[in-house]
Structure 1
């Protein structure tokens, strides 16, 4: 019988600790009692394995946690010395972004108008694994030269100009660009040239460039929202500082580095696994998905280069999607204005000051949460408020914009990245009833581009979003400043009939 749940020690209303032995500090667990009960034994086991891995100084388990590759999805793993590809994941810099428009909610009251916008978006932004620009007649074309520039420069002024993206949007990014471990983009260029040294490898890389400006499959989505400001006077003031407009339409996106980042990540997994085997090294807990490298080693430097390039691609992918979405809205509603509220990642390793030292903070399905006054926000427009935190829930129950509180230090300045799965995809497809899913969305007047909404992405496949947010609030990590109510959803699926 699994006894890991019995080991959880409650230290606060929505905080608990999970001891791991070996004189190591315990894992910090964020979640109310119902949320803690949602963690399966395998999730807790993966968290313990991650905490015991070499070079790891701290692990946090967020309320959306569930089984992942090596480390749980929804965890934070901190190390002063080592980098771990597993706790970054195969979708390097999978992220959220939010575009705020001045279009009043009433403009999308009519389903026919929403269908027009959906059609305009899907003409510009493809969806699905392997799908690229040739599937969308009004997308931006990306050749090998521009793709190389995107991967090595990120959201540079030159890249944004070539793609028709407002230059000011770079200032609304958690990171507008990533450099190599030597602090230059030259090391990224050299690495990418080496990866494409053979014709077939270069052809594959350039084919992935053509996915720029697209959503993937699975849990990736675009969603038109109505913004409802929440909370008291302080929260509303913060929301307005962020540029949120009560009662207006916004657009929330979830995607990452597409096939380009996936290939980089899988190459690193294979390479590091081969290094372990050739040197006779033991995998942490016997799990090859917890391979690692010292950050200063040759292998660590190569991983950091590849992660940076994947992250650059993901950044520009989001910005381009938002530019295309705004263009689509203007096709239906000429003259509307839109600004990027924020772009924030949840699959990345970054160097940050944690526990008095600069350490590698791996966030696997976890979102950075820096409160007002944090040194890494100095000189940004979020210095006095903290930055926006974008948390997707599900179309039926809404999504949330939050801002970190001082208590976020307890979770390595991190929160969850969404609701988190409570059902595997296989179980959801077997147990959830399509007619009930479709009726539930219809009852909330939510439409999508799909003929039938994917069963494995149905709201009931995910945890109770309100309980997840309650966990964050009661743990003192963050406060909600706005709730987002879905009006339509763009997903990977068979297109709906016109």
Structure 2
């Protein structure tokens, strides 16, 4: 047998690197006495009718590469989606047209079963921020987001507001010394956590390569809207934590899975876009079938990135509380860039993507922040099926970062902070409170989705400088 060249394989439809590699290996091993024409004829037959060869011991693996064909998108109208109950929008008046259009396109995918748009929604990449999407046996990396497992964590401390008057300097120093932000935000003394010893790092070649980065960045926070802050939380009567209804000092953090999650997102988005060819306007919503190797790898990696994000918050809270000699009475946490296997009302198992949305199943606790000078809310989900058991993940942006930078000065931000009685360490005008929607309007728009159990007000905020 003469060796088949890449160009020859491309001509007959073998454009996938995996398929080409399998052809070369399998043909040289089992078909070395066949002529080139015989082999080409066989390969064409496999491509055109893979189902007939998938059980074959010798060429079955080649046939498998042609089994995952993309379903053709049948676009539906936005009005029809809403009328059918397939899509539910909360706080529609405050949501920009671009976000609604993105959701409309996402809902047109043939794998989608149901969707919802939260009141903090705004235009994003692929799926809008605040978009919730239920798919059947498929996961969309870009509908999870780049910062996989982006997370809120709240520690409630047995101290009153007078603690700020006595120890505000120490709290500021602790935030400066114990927190690290952005690309260069690497702790001088890397933290230890059981997540670093996880055998999951050995599950894929990508995770193996990322173990060193994960070790260096453990306990750090991202840039942009990520923060660590001390504030005061008022717990309401009958709060689910079982704590006395009064005001407490609290520590609140917002961050995700750092470089680990970003690399996983980029790697599998590229695979999805190469194997799931979609029209240009929805190409970033390419999906991975959960029955494929890539789909399984992404699912394992995504869940592990979520574990890593939790570990980062664990380290941040432990270090800060220890440095100040404080202890937490209770801790509440939730992801908001993630996908979960759940059931719809009709019993179908689906993958629910929450890109910038808080899980809000019946009785489930979560945290919904506003901005550096406005309230964050401790909430309990009501389990609303039309909302896919979700709520907003924050106030949501009213301005893009670029627009916020162009429309706000550093002196104007200082005035806003002063009027709110908030101290800011780092931060930027891109994250100024005016760049965000009114958190009170957002909470009003989702009063049917969550019950409020406490209100947190920031006092000392730490963010990335750029």
The TM-score normalised by the length of structure 1 is 0.74
The answer on whether the counterparts of 2:157 and 2:249 sit within 8 Å (CA) in structure 1 is: yes
Matches within 5 A, 1:439-458: 439-450=415-426, 453-458=427-432
Task: Give the CA deviation at 1:298.
Answer: 1.9
Q: Which residue number in structure 1 is paired with residue 157 of structure 2?
A: 101
**1:286 maps to 2:281:** yes
Which of 288, 291, 295 in structure 1 is aligned with 2:290?
Answer: 295
Shift in Å, 1:393: 0.7
> 1:98 Cα deviation (Å)?
0.4
1:269, distance to aligned residue in structure 2 (A) = 1.2
How far off its partner does 1:239 sit?
Answer: 4.1
Partner of 1:218: 224
Shift of 1:240: 4.0
Does structure 1 retain, via aligned residues, the 8 Å contact 2:153–2:254?
Answer: yes
Q: CA deviation at 1:395?
A: 2.7
- Would you say the 8 A contact 2:278–2:286 is kept in 1? no
- Taking the TM superposition and a 5 Å limit, the aligned residue runs for 1:411-426 are 411-426=387-402
Alignment CA distance shift 1:23-1:402 (3 Å): closer
Matched, 1:466 2:440: yes
Determine the structure 1 residue equivalent to 2:453: 481
Q: Secondary structure at the match of 1:57?
A: strand
Aligned partner of 2:43 in structure 1 is none
In structure 2, the partner of 1:3 is: none
Report SS of the residue matched to 2:115: strand
8 Å CA contact 2:378–2:453 kept in 1: the answer is: yes
Matched, 1:369 2:360: yes
Query: Is the deviation greater in 288-297 or in 362-371?
Result: 288-297
Q: 1:318 aligns with which of 313, 317, 320?
A: 313
Q: Deviations over 1:174-220 (max 9, x none)?
A: xxxxxxxxxxxxxx34423x2266xxxx3x54133211101110010
Task: Name the CA shift for 1:67/1:275 in 2 (closer, same or farther; >3 Å).
Answer: same
Q: Deviations over 1:115-156 (max 9, x none)?
A: 32121233222112242122xx5x6257xxx66425x5xxxx
- Indicate if the aligned counterparts of 1:120 and 1:328 stay in contact, CA closer than 8 A: yes
- CA 1:22–1:214: 2 relative to 1, 3 Å: closer
Tell me how far 1:340 sits from its aligned partner: 4.1
Q: 1:17-70 deviations in whole A, cap 9, x for unaligned?
A: 952569965420011xxxx23322211110001111121001100001011110
Alpha-carbon contact 1:100-1:244 (below 8 Å) kept:
no
Poorly superposed stretches of 4+, deviation over 6 Å: none
Q: Distance in 2 between matches of 1:421 and 1:249?
A: 27
Query: Number of aligned pairs?
Result: 389
Cα distance between partner residues in 2 of 1:361 and 1:244 = 35
| 1:377 alignment partner in structure 2 | none
Pair 1:246–1:65, CA change in 2 (3 A): same
User: Which protein shows a greater Rg?
Assistant: 2
Match of 1:350 among 340, 343, 349: 340
Instruction: For residue 329 of structure 1, report the CA deviation from its aligned partner.
Output: 2.4
Question: Please, which of 168, 171, 179 is the counterpart of residue 125 of structure 1?
Answer: 179
Check 1:369–1:22 CA distance in 2 against 1; reply closer, same or farther (3 A cut): closer
**CA 1:472/1:196 → structure 2, altered by over 3 Å: closer, same or farther?**
closer
**Rounded Cα–Cα distance in structure 2 between residues aligned with 1:488 and 1:126:** 15
Q: Secondary structure at the match of 1:59?
A: strand
Residue 238 of structure 2 is matched in structure 1 by 237
Is residue 2:218 matched to residue 1:195? no
Is residue 19–residue 27 contact of structure 1 (8 Å, CA) maintained in 2?
no
Gaps of 5+ in 2: 1-76
What are the Cα deviations for residues 237-291 of structure 1, in whole angstroms up to 9, with x where unaligned? Answer: 12442x4762210111100101111111111112222223xxxx324x6332111
Cα shift at 1:325: 1.8
Structure 1 unaligned residues grouped into runs of 5+? 1-16, 153-187, 231-235, 331-335, 372-385
Aligned in 2, Cα 1:80/1:469: closer, same or farther, shift over 3 Å? same
Mapped partners of 1:348, 1:78: distance in 2: 12
1:209 aligns with 2:215: yes
Deviations 1:296-317 (A, max 9, x none): 1222112112212211211211
Q: CA 1:18 to 1:106, structure 2 compared with 1: closer, same or farther past 3 Å?
A: farther
Return the alpha-carbon distance in structure 1 between the equivalents of residues 245 and 82 of structure 2. 51
Distance 1:390 1:244, change over 3 A: farther
| Structure with the larger RCO, 1 or 2 (CA within 8 Å, 6+ apart) | 1
The alignment partner of 2:456 has SS state of: strand
Residues 158 and 329, structure 2, Cα contact 8 Å, conserved in 1: no
- In structure 2, relative to structure 1, the CA distance for the partners of 1:48 and 1:118 (3 Å cut) is same
Counterpart-to-counterpart distance in 2, 1:38 and 1:419:
11
When residues 293 and 102 of structure 1 are mapped into structure 2, their CA distance, relative to the original with a 3 A threshold, is same
Q: Secondary structure at the match of 1:99?
A: strand
